[in-house]
Structure 1
Amino acid sequence: MKFSKDIKRYTDYSGKSALLMLLTQQGLWSLFYYRIFNAAYRSHIPNFFKRIILMIGVVFQKKVEIFTGITLPYSATIGEGLYIGHHSGIIINAAAVIGDNCNISQGVTIGVSGRGSKRGVPTVGDRVYIGVNAVIAGDIKIGNDAVIAANSLVTKDVDSGTTVMGVPAFKVSDRNSHDYIL
């Protein structure tokens, strides 16, 4: 189950028990509801029942969003092992795709932007580290093992295994995310 991989990432970083992490980490609270309602969204249950479950899901997710400041819509595609380092100000677009074992810091936005053929939402690869207050927007691809530095605005594709920073973001090194991702 994907949620167990999420919990493992938290316990690996902190060295503390899963129970303590579940009781104290707002990122896990948000991921818990996301995983439940995303499973319902992707299930093959009859549409009538699915709609009822998802309406309930919207209410639960909105409560968690207000309490934690984390927006994880059930229709987004988020791989296993997501780690949200600090809560608050995190907004993920409902159509965004995020790979496995990524780290998202506080204040991150992964959203829609662009014009014409570049209008859309990002696809984020596996093991990507996204720093504090970074914005990733538009129909772009972030490669595996990339690092998005704090306060960066990413509106163009990012190659795998590179670090970008700035407004607009540009490549600053070939260092990958291995030092940031456990």
Structure 2
Amino acid sequence: MFFGRLRKEIQAVFDRDPAAKSVLEVLLCYPGLHAIILHRIAHFFYRHRFFLVARLISQFARAITQIEIHPGAKIGEGLFIDHGAGVVIGETAEIGNNVTIYQGVTLGGTGKEKGKRHPTIGDNVVISTGAKILGSFKVGENSKIGAGSVVLKPVPPNSTVVGVPGKVVIRDGEKVGTAGVSIIDLRHDLLPDPVAEAMYAMQKTIERLEQRVAELEKQRSKPE
């Protein structure tokens, strides 16, 4: 089972990183893969209640990869952590299959409460650079989280989220992508900018108001 998952994670690197040239290179030079392998080992000890051993392994992984995954986190198959520096995944986080995470991402909690306090990430989700997903809720499958977004609420499936706090700007094909997407869309650079769109709408409104004011001033200046 361990080696079967390892094969899938190596294949995930080739599927999602065009820079990967050989299996040996992936095994030796990809810290995201190293972090996942060490997490699998740490999680085994964590499930068998060897908590200190599990934490020591996770801290060793953090030291050599700059990726911190708590040994209690549950991770599915085909996870790809690209570059990975600064990634933090909390104790009760759950990650589905074929998820892609870029550097600087945090799957964190929002307080000191016990029990489930970290997010659940559905299958085929892409979480872009620097995004923070904080709290015990689910990000639905086939969704994308834009770079630098701070997500504090559940995300429906097939959605795109951008902004601080994060807002759903695309969902199920309504300025919202395509429902039922089976291919993982890694184009996290092609996301809507709701702030820019709001500024553009405001600019057009101001232009219309200025035009109307000018028309009224002309009417007022005409001789009786």
Aligned in 2, Cα 1:115/1:74: closer, same or farther, shift over 3 Å? Answer: closer
Deviation at 1:63, TM superposition (A): 1.9
| Aligned mate of 1:128, from 120, 125, 138 | 125
Determine whether 1:153 maps to 2:150. Answer: yes
Check conservation: 2:9, 2:80, Cα contact below 8 A.
Answer: yes
Give SS of 1:2's match. Answer: helix
Residue of structure 1 in register with 2:42 after alignment? 37
Alignment identity in percent? 36
User: Contact (CA 8 Å) 1:10, 1:83: kept in 2 or not?
Assistant: yes
Which of the pair has the greater relative contact order for Cα pairs under 8 Å at 6+ separation?
1
Distance 1:114 1:76 in 2: 17
Does 2:34 match 1:26? no
Q: Is the 8 A contact 1:149 1:164 kept in 2?
A: yes
TM-score, normalised with respect to structure 1: 0.85
Report the alpha carbon displacement of residue 114 of structure 1 after superposing the two structures with TM: 5.9
Residue 166, structure 1, aligned to residue 163, structure 2: yes
Q: Residue 115 and residue 163 in structure 1: after superposition, are their counterparts in 2 closer, same or farther (change >3 A)?
A: farther
2:94 is the counterpart of 1:97: yes
2:25 equivalent to 1:2: no
Larger-gyration structure (1/2): 2
Shift in alpha-carbon separation, 1:161–1:74, aligned structure 2, 3 A:
same
Contact 1:69 1:89 in 2 (8 A): yes
| Change beyond 3 A, Cα 1:115–1:166 | farther
Do the aligned residues in 2 keep the contact of 1:26 with 1:68 (CA within 8 Å)? yes
Of the structure 1 ranges 150-159 and 119-128, higher mean CA displacement relative to structure 2 is found in 119-128
Superposed CA RMSD: 2.2
Answer yes or no: is 1:74 the counterpart of 2:79.
Answer: no
Aligned residues: 171
